[in-house]
Amino acid sequence: MTSLLSVRDLRTAFNGQTVLDGVDFDLHPGKTLGLVGESGSGKSVTALSVMGLLDRNGKVLPGSSIKLEGQELAGLSERGLREVRGKRMAMIFQEPMSSLNPVYTVGDQVAETVRKHLGLSRRASRERAVELLRMVGISAPERRVTEYPHQLSGGMRQRVMIAIAISADPALLIADEPTTALDVTIQGQILALLKELQERLNMAILMITHDLGVVSQIADDVAVMYAGQIIERTEAQRLVGNPAHPYSRGLLASVPRLGMDRNVPLPSIPGSVPSPADWPAGCRFADRCEFATPQCREKPPLLIERWPGHEVACDHPLVDGVPTPEPAREVVS
């Protein structure tokens, strides 16, 4: 299947300090890829690099490739990116209250995107805004278009953000922690809405999250990020059922489950993600890994296919919780 989004050797730096170091992944039409990891792993920087929304001190480094529908976005001018953003790819953010303009009605903000990318008249764009609010499940959309962001609940504001994102029927939707600020009931509703819209519009979704529970609900495939690199990549259900990297296993172990003893603390991964200025020479997870060997601290592991369709950047991947020195073979792209 031809990739809708193809990212190769993505390297991004801020003030000359590299924070993404050789990120590769593919996303196919109509599919969802979950990008998972702790804060500081590089997930959001990956999304902002794809969208061309880095701060002034950020830069996608030469040699990086970001292709959307075959068009190279790395190195594209700001004018060229504006033609793509909102129309062929769009993004929804973690906190809608900081993304929506408080001095404009939600109807005006949805209609603005419609006018810009679809060239509709003011009246037609207003009607389209009402239609979009109805599509994302907002009741009484004819009235809601006249309201301001502060008059809506958090869940409704996120639905408005989704309406803005899908207003020009993008092929790619990037969702950066879209449910983190919402309670669990609303979170489920937003995930169900994204899945419904994906099927209706045949969108590809890049879902950025630290929550593997979210990944298991919505993603087809998953890529686990750590310290600016992808360290495990496979089908979502395979990763949830049989994670091979010690970091992935630690993330899964820290997720609360029904029936767990409340008196037993949840397992946690000791330490924190290293700063880009302190990346070690070997495996970047070695200092937090109970299975690390001297070899792990000396030589960085390659992201290789250990089993069909399952790539792991670990020289001792886990099988049933036990590290195995199974011979590795490098993936041929």
* Within-domain flag for 295: yes
**Comparing C-alpha atoms, which of 131, 118, 194, 182 is closest to residue 156?**
182
**Domain boundaries, position 140:** 97-169
Query: Once rounded to an integer, what is the mean pLDDT over residues 190-205?
Result: 93
Give the span between the Cα atoms of 47 and 66, in whole angstroms: 11
Domain boundary among 169, 187, 208: 169
* Within-domain flag for 269: yes
Query: Once rounded to an integer, what is the mean pLDDT over residues 258-272?
Result: 81
More confident residue, 326 or 227: 227
* Within-domain flag for 103: yes
Mean pLDDT score across all residues of the chain:
90
Q: Which two tokens stand for residue 49?
A: 């690099």
Span 103-141, pLDDT tens digits:
999 999 999 988 988 888 999 999 999 999 999 999 999
Residue 258 has pLDDT above 80, yes or no: no
Give the span between the Cα atoms of 30 and 207, in whole angstroms: 13
Query: Once rounded to an integer, what is the mean pLDDT over residues 249-257?
Result: 84
* Within-domain flag for 114: yes
CA angle 263, 269, 271 (to 5 degrees): 120
Query: Which pLDDT score, from 0 to 100, does residue 268 have?
Result: 85
* Within-domain flag for 132: yes
Query: Residue 35: left if φ>0, alpha if ψ -120 to 50, beta else—which one?
Result: beta
Q: Which two tokens stand for residue 133?
A: 């609010």
Domain boundary among 123, 142, 169: 169
* Within-domain flag for 117: yes
* Within-domain flag for 249: yes
* Within-domain flag for 262: yes
Query: Once rounded to an integer, what is the mean pLDDT over residues 313-320?
Result: 86
Query: Which pLDDT score, from 0 to 100, does residue 332 have?
Result: 40
Domain boundary among 169, 187, 215: 169
Domain count, the chain: 2
Query: Which pLDDT score, from 0 to 100, does residue 331 have?
Result: 43
317 contacts 244 by C-beta, under 8 angstroms: yes
